[in-house]
Amino acid sequence: MLFQGHNALHGAYWHDQFGKRRSHGCVNLAPLDARWLFEWVSPALPAGWTGYLPADLERSVVVHVRDSSLPPDQAFFQERPIGPPDPEEEKRRQEEADERRAEAAAAAAEAVPAAAAAG
């Protein structure tokens, strides 16, 4: 369930460290808790549907995320605008990630011949 930019409430089957920071903004939930929340929030979805983007995001579910590592007067804050991510911003972020991956792959490819020559 999106609640801020690309941040969402979602199930996380890959860890059990709930309550500790494990994301850059998403709220990880145990799978059963995620299912309960998904079924509790309106609207009820038809069979086979996995998501819904309301036409008016200002009237969608309100989520308050508390950062317990901050003092109480700073624990709640809104970093990103309400609603889906900006397509241009997401494109820019994807291009940056692709560039980082290409640089890492090139560095790894250079390291393989050097390791083979040393071995």
In the chain, how many domains are there?
Answer: 2
Burial group, residue 37, by CB count within 10 angstroms (0-12, 13-18, 19+):
middle
pLDDT in tens, the chain (119 residues): 777 667 788 888 888 887 777 777 788 899 999 889 888 887 788 888 877 776 766 666 677 777 777 887 877 666 666 666 677 887 888 899 899 999 999 998 888 776 666 65
Are residues 90 and 42 located together in one domain of the fold? Answer: no
Region class of 15: left (phi > 0), else alpha (psi between -120 and 50), else beta = beta
d(CA 6, CA 8): 6
Are residues 77 and 103 located together in one domain of the fold? Answer: no
Q: Give the residue numbers spanning the domain of 16.
A: 2-84
pTM tops 0.75: no
